[in-house]
Structure 1
């Protein structure tokens, strides 16, 4: 997220707001078509679901179809009875211009609500930045960056992400270890590096965007503890709603995606939980597999 996270989404905003006006000025092939009938008529090819994605950015997406955005795209394609195809491009400067804006694809599977580079759908996920610690450590029940037990600790933080402001306000930056925000995901991963450093003891804890934290902490041996930072009382917001991104002109397509999200939320939640994503309801309570499971 951007303006937001330490995974892929942070790079979205950094890419430049100028792209927003350019995309909004780009006409859709179906802009003058009537709204009735097949709402997917605005797609580049109405028979193909073309997804804009990063080829190497797990747990979100990769070119092997192993990310949770890949799995949600597969579910969407199945529901729409369309063939699934991808336009891959690293999530960095030029991502929207070279994919959605160039009409090489029709949807970005993960896009933060409130950002205005492109048009967003209704959200399918609410999650937050999280503190990652070792289970059994003196920090495992810390729930806020204002906790005095963090004083003097070495804490990993992705540079220029919102939690860095809270860390600075609480005097935690002197011993912090920064990790790069803008990276080439083909050869590097700040999240993987941070999780490795927590496991080895090089740092005492780390702050990561929730989906990155949950996935990599689950892969660690032993698994690490992930605590969403929903108790912060000052500084930038820590929680975000994530939907999908489409071109500004594609109103019918947006409506179809909103319908898909509404009708398939249980299945979407199950996919996200399988990747360790810390899902939150509107009251900041965790959404678990038990909550998601359909009632008999």
Structure 2
């Protein structure tokens, strides 16, 4: 199974990760669009979400992930029942869920993956480096920083930052963690964070939502620096939207409208989970800015 869907679909050449969403005809009429979504949705009265049952901080069967919370937000606004089709985020996830018409939306899906039709993005984030507070590496902002040479840096094997680390000459002393694991019993992200806390590694490089979430759970909280200043290797910033079936044009438009109208509430949910949010200029979006926004 993919490591916590850690890179769900997001790995357009990375390695795999993320989700989608759905809505009914009543909302189409309320928004001034008279299109009948019943021909696109499994049940116009239910928001049916495709999700991984064990993929924190994104989703789980207990509804504890931030994608669960965003789905709850949309269902409440649509006045619809919320239901899930849970399936491990591994090979065949889209085919067995969205493609099999068992659900109508994946709540988090990277732009650019052609397995699904993407909505407009609802957040933009990046990979990040995680260190202990007070560490001599706490102010490192790029993998090109010479202070990382010879240090033990954790990296999920096969993910984009690995290329940047290789170019910077960091792989000889790096500690790789497996991308493909059984998420029912293991978590490479949690293992990496535990190693940062214990000092087994000097720093860890993780997908931002996971880095922010697990670092926030640590006591004391770990330091997270978004990797937005890379000048070599692949760009580590990605836009995340939702995923629907290629034919579901009206449904996609309804979701786009929901995203636009709910952006402030979505941002608050993401920030509560420690997700490093970026605007289009790569500036961090803060909780204070979200609170002040109309």
TM-score (norm 1): 0.89
Per-residue CA deviations over 1:174-218 (Å, capped at 9, x if unaligned) read 111001111221111111000000000000000000000000000
Aligned pair in 2 of structure 1 residues 40, 185: CA closer, same or farther (>3 Å)? farther
Q: Is the 8 A contact 1:43 1:106 kept in 2?
A: yes
What residue is the counterpart of 2:160 in the other structure? 162
SS at match of 1:102: coil
8 Å Cα contact 1:87-1:105 kept in structure 2: yes
Q: Deviations over 1:82-131 (max 9, x none)?
A: 10000000100110111001100000000001111110000000000000
Match of 1:49 among 47, 57, 61: 47
- How many residues align structurally? 275
Partner of 1:105: 103
Q: CA deviation at 1:232?
A: 0.1
Going from structure 1 to structure 2, the CA distance change for 1:11 and 1:293 (only over 3 Å counts) comes to closer
Other-structure match for 1:271: 269
CA gap 1:291/1:40 in 2 versus in 1, 3 angstroms: farther
User: Could you say if the C-alpha distance between residues 40 and 223 of structure 1 is closer, same or farther in structure 2, counting changes exceeding 3 Å?
Assistant: farther
SS, match of residue 264 in structure 1: helix
Q: What RMSD, in angstroms, separates the aligned Cα atoms of the two structures?
A: 1.9
Q: Could you state the TM-score of these two structures normalised by the residue count of structure 2? A: 0.90
The equivalent position to 1:96 in structure 2, one of 91, 94, 110, is 94
Q: How far has the Cα of 1:9 moved from its partner?
A: 4.8
What is the CA-CA distance between 1:295 and the residue it aligns to? 4.5
2: CA distance, partners of 1:117 / 1:9? 17
Contact 2:10–2:111 (CA<8 Å) still a contact in 1? Answer: no
- 2:179 pairs, out of 142, 159, 181, with 181
The DSSP-based 3-state class of the residue aligned with 2:75 is helix
Q: Supply the distance in 2 between the matched residues of 1:288 and 1:7 (Cα, whole angstroms).
A: 26
* Per-residue deviation, 1:165: 0.2
Asked whether the equivalents of residues 6 and 207 of structure 2 are also in contact (C-alpha less than 8 Å), the reply is no
Alpha-carbon distance, 1:237 to partner: 1.3
- For the 8 Å contact 1:112–1:243, the answer to whether it is kept is yes
Matches of 1:159 and 1:108 in 2, distance apart?
Answer: 25
Residue segments in structure 2 that go unaligned for 5+ positions in a row = 14-24, 26-32
Give the SS at the match of 1:206. Answer: strand
Structure 1, unpaired ranges of 5+ = 17-29
Cα displacement (A) at 1:40: 5.9
For 2:242 and 2:36, the matched residues in 1 are separated by: 19
| Residue 80 of structure 1 pairs with residue 78 of structure 2 | yes
Measured in 1, the distance between the counterparts of 2:11 and 2:124 equals 22
Change (3 A) 1:57 1:178: same
- 1:210-266: CA deviations, max 9, x gaps? 000000000011110000000001211100000000000000000000000000000
CA distance in 2, matches of 1:209, 1:83: 31
Assess, with a 3 A threshold, how the Cα gap between structure 1 residues 259 and 15 changes in structure 2: closer, same or farther: closer
Q: 1:275: Cα distance to partner?
A: 0.2
The 8 Å contact of residues 154 and 203 in structure 1, kept in 2 or not, is answered as: yes
Checking the alignment, whether the CA contact within 8 Å between 1:39 and 1:255 is kept in structure 2 is: no
The answer to whether the 8 Å contact 1:71/1:271 transfers is yes
Hey, what's the Cα distance between the residues in 2 that align with 1:246 and 1:64? 23
